């Protein structure tokens, strides 16, 4: 067959199942974002549903179009009909990290929803530009940062934020939620086979809805949905310079956001390798540039959550999917959000029926850290979970105090001291989790001089609030006399650990021995 006569049949029966799986995954993330920002932080629904959701969805549309184009080009080059586009959508860790760590705190700090939205846009602009730049150096960065540090942070977010928050929603509405979760576990985790024309995720949502409907006849009343009901309305996510208004405040959140952006770059490299092993050899640089461009477009159009290629290309290929599912998902999410249809679905479908998909995503992310981290580095992984748990506790406690109309100043001295320690432990949790895991990995590998350098870096970042900021809004600062004493004490502690590492390195008979080792398995 000549190249001129070849015609790629870009859709098939497998695209139907793949479309529902990818679309409901993205819908669940948009629903989770709205529940966090509206239900937890009480941002106005008009800004969340009318600006943030359409802008974020625009990134999905652009990214799916780019990745579908890559599949068309690969099919034409290799003259194959079985080419499967790489799945693409909203980044799960970023949704939780940026909602809890950037947009929500920015709103709490100033009580200005417009400004919080602009800060979210500005942070995402920086993330998009960083990903585009790093796309040219992705492989080098992957070699520099311990795999356990990157995967450990993602695993901690998966367990501490994604799975915890999702299962909390199931406890609020256990009937439909547990039924949907049961189907997800049976089909996606337990690999129980369904007929090929039945999408497992759609079956899970339908089963949960059926359970709710049956329970209603027995007098069961599901709790009220946190997200306000929306109506069809046109919200065009047009490019805007509104992000410039939040740029001044955005820099204090960049230290939290950049590691998340870096993680998707490394994940993009891994996903490209996974697709190649499944038979579809995409350009690594092209895949990374595509996600960077999509993230930047989302930011400029009002989005606040980054995009990324999804894990699971081999699974979508095994379904028989080609490019139809990514094209359909991009159009459904992008145009649906612009028309208000996605907001209507978010308001109409109980969140308990959607979050089981996120539980599955969390399970896969946490399992990946255990499976792909070198066995010798497994002892470092638990350290990533501690800052995430601290941040989650701070969010919950602050919410309870706010609902009760109490201020921190009214708490007993011991409680205030404990909460202050939690602030320092939780603020900048992505950075501190990565630093701690990297430090433990270096100690395990007997790379003690490098461990000392990490400690010096940790002390420096602590002095400026890049990690362990003592303030409730996690802001950056310049060390001066007004800086809480605990900041200097913690920085000094890191320096003492650095000294200990150097002493041990000297005792181990010089740097030649202690610099040996590798981050890779």
pLDDT digits (tens, 9 = 90+) for 476-496: 788 998 899 999 999 999 999
Last residue within a domain, chosen from 308, 343, 373: 373
* 89 belongs to a structural domain: yes
Comparison of pLDDT for 408 and 169, the residue scoring more: 169
pLDDT band at 474 (very low <50, low <70, confident <90, very high): confident
- The residue segments making up the domain with residue 440 are 383-514
* 7 belongs to a structural domain: no
pLDDT band at 228 (very low <50, low <70, confident <90, very high): low
End-to-end CA distance of the chain: 43
Q: Which value, in Å, is the radius of gyration of the alpha carbons in the chain?
A: 23
Lowest mean pLDDT, pick from 8-22, 85-99, 222-236, 394-408: 222-236
- Tell me if 508 sits within 8 A of 445, measured CB to CB: no
Q: Are residues 322 and 391 in the same domain?
A: no
What tokens appear for 398 in the block?
């602050």
Ranges 256-270, 297-311, 506-520, most confident: 297-311
Q: Are residues 363 and 474 in the same domain?
A: no
When pLDDT is averaged across residues 21-38 and rounded to a whole number, the result is: 88
When pLDDT is averaged across residues 239-248 and rounded to a whole number, the result is: 93
- Which H or E run contains 265? helix 254-277
* 303 belongs to a structural domain: yes
Lowest mean pLDDT, pick from 72-76, 165-169, 212-216: 165-169
- Which H or E run contains 332? helix 324-339
DSSP 406: -
Interacting residues of 289 by C-beta distance below 8 A, sequence separation 6+ = 132, 135
Rounded Cα gap, residues 359 and 156, in angstroms: 13
Q: Are residues 392 and 354 in the same domain?
A: no
Ranges 92-96, 102-106, 343-347, most confident: 102-106
Q: Are residues 101 and 152 in the same domain?
A: yes
What is the percentage of the chain residues whose pLDDT exceeds 90?
A: 45
Rounded Cα gap, residues 120 and 103, in angstroms: 6
Lowest mean pLDDT, pick from 73-77, 354-358, 506-510: 506-510
Q: What Cα–Cα distance (Å) separates residue 394 from each residue in 97, 387, 472?
A: 14, 11, 9
When pLDDT is averaged across residues 237-265 and rounded to a whole number, the result is: 87
Q: Are residues 504 and 361 in the same domain?
A: no
- Tell me if 447 sits within 8 A of 517, measured CB to CB: yes
Count the domains in the chain: 2
Q: Are residues 108 and 250 in the same domain?
A: yes
Rounded Cα gap, residues 462 and 436, in angstroms: 13
Q: Is the pLDDT of residue 96 over 90?
A: no
pLDDT at 47: 94
When pLDDT is averaged across residues 2-30 and rounded to a whole number, the result is: 83
Q: Is the pLDDT of residue 445 over 60?
A: yes
Question: 214-220: long-range contacts at Cβ-Cβ below 8 A with a sequence spacing of 24 or more?
Answer: 215/175, 215/176, 220/175
pLDDT at 276: 84
DSSP 245: G
Across all residues in the chain, what is the average pLDDT? 86
Note the helical H segments in 48-199. 53-78, 92-98, 104-110, 113-134, 138-144, 147-157, 164-172, 174-184
- Tell me if 131 sits within 8 A of 292, measured CB to CB: yes
Last residue within a domain, chosen from 373, 406, 431: 373
pLDDT at 142: 62
Q: Are residues 141 and 49 in the same domain?
A: yes
Q: Are residues 331 and 391 in the same domain?
A: no
* 340 belongs to a structural domain: yes
* 54 belongs to a structural domain: yes
Query: Distance of alpha carbon 148 from its chain centroid, rounded?
Result: 17
Q: Could you tell me which of 429, 424, 430 has the C-alpha nearest to residue 477?
A: 424
Which single residue is written with the structure tokens 């959140």? 253
Q: What Cα–Cα distance (Å) separates residue 135 from each residue in 93, 120, 122, 124?
A: 20, 22, 20, 16
pLDDT band at 229 (very low <50, low <70, confident <90, very high): low
Rounded Cα gap, residues 110 and 115, in angstroms: 8
* 113 belongs to a structural domain: yes
Q: Are residues 162 and 244 in the same domain?
A: yes
Interacting residues of 244 by C-beta distance below 8 A, sequence separation 6+ = 118, 122
* Number of Cβ atoms within 10 Å of the Cβ of 341: 16
Q: Are residues 429 and 497 in the same domain?
A: yes
pLDDT at 318: 77
Q: Are residues 438 and 499 in the same domain?
A: yes
Comparison of pLDDT for 332 and 202, the residue scoring more: 332
Burial group, residue 281, by CB count within 10 angstroms (0-12, 13-18, 19+):
middle
Last residue within a domain, chosen from 319, 354, 373: 373
* 277 belongs to a structural domain: yes
Lowest mean pLDDT, pick from 317-331, 343-357, 392-406, 456-470: 392-406
pLDDT band at 33 (very low <50, low <70, confident <90, very high): very high
Comparison of pLDDT for 463 and 368, the residue scoring more: 463
When pLDDT is averaged across residues 390-394 and rounded to a whole number, the result is: 87
Note the helical H segments in 373-447. 382-403, 413-426, 429-444
What's the pTM?
Answer: 0.76
- Tell me if 92 sits within 8 A of 166, measured CB to CB: no
Q: What Cα–Cα distance (Å) separates residue 105 from each residue in 56, 376, 411, 465, 503?
A: 19, 37, 21, 15, 41
* 229 belongs to a structural domain: no
- Tell me if 10 sits within 8 A of 324, measured CB to CB: yes
Rounded Cα gap, residues 309 and 291, in angstroms: 7
Q: Is the pLDDT of residue 347 over 90?
A: no
pLDDT at 149: 81
Q: Are residues 295 and 419 in the same domain?
A: no
């Amino acid at each position: 067959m000549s190249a001129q006569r070849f015609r790629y049949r870009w859709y098939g029966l497998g695209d139907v199942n793949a479309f529902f799986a990818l679309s409901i995954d993205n819908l669940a993330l948009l629903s989770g974002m709205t529940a966090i920002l509206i239900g937890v932080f009480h941002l106005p629904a008009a800004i969340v549903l009318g600006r943030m959701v359409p802008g974020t969805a625009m990134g999905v549309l652009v990214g799916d179009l780019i990745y579908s184009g890559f599949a068309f080009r690969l099919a034409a080059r290799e003259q194959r009909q079985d080419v499967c586009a790489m799945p693409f959508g909203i980044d799960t860790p970023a949704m939780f990290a940026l909602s809890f760590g950037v947009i929500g705190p920015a709103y709490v700090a100033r009580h200005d929803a417009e400004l919080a939205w602009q800060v979210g846009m500005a942070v995402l602009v920086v993330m998009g530009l960083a990903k585009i730049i790093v796309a040219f150096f992705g492989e080098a960065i992957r070699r520099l940062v311990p795999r356990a540090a990157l995967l450990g942070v993602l695993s901690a977010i998966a367990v501490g934020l994604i799975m915890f928050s999702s299962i909390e929603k199931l406890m609020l509405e256990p009937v439909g939620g547990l039924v949907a979760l049961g189907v997800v576990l049976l089909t996606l985790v337990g690999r129980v086979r369904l007929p090929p024309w039945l999408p497992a995720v759609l079956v899970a949502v339908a089963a949960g809805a059926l359970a709710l409907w049956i329970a209603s006849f027995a007098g069961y009343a599901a709790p009220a949905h946190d997200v306000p009901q929306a109506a069809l309305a046109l919200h065009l996510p047009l490019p805007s310079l509104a992000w410039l208004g939040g740029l001044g405040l955005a820099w204090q959140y960049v230290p939290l956001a950049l590691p998340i952006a870096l993680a998707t770059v490394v994940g993009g490299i891994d996903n490209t390798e996974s697709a190649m092993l499944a038979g579809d050899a995409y350009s690594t640089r092209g895949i990374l540039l595509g996600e960077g461009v999509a993230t930047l477009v989302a930011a400029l159009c009002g989005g606040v959550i980054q995009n990324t290629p999804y894990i699971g290309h081999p699974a979508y290929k095994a379904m028989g999917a080609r490019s139809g599912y990514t094209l359909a998902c991009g159009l459904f999410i992008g145009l649906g959000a612009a028309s208000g249809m996605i907001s209507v679905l978010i308001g109409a479908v109980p969140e308990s029926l959607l979050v089981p998909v996120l539980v599955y995503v969390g399970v896969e992310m946490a399992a990946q850290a255990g499976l792909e981290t070198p066995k010798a580095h497994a002892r470092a992984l638990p350290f990533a979970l501690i800052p995430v748990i601290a941040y989650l506790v701070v969010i919950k406690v602050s919410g309870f105090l706010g609902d009760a109309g109490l201020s921190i100043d009214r708490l007993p001295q011991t409680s205030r001291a404990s909460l202050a320690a939690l602030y320092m432990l939780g603020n900048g949790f992505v950075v501190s989790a990565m630093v701690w895991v990297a430090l433990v990995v270096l100690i395990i590998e007997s790379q003690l001089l490098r461990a000392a350098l990490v400690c010096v870096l940790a002390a420096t970042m602590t002095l400026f609030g890049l990690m362990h900021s003592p303030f409730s809004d996690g802001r950056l600062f310049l060390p001066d006399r007004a800086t809480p004493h605990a900041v200097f004490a913690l920085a000094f502690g890191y320096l003492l650990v650095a000294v200990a590492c150097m002493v041990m390195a000297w005792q181990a008979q010089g740097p030649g021995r202690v610099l040996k080792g590798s981050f890779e398995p």
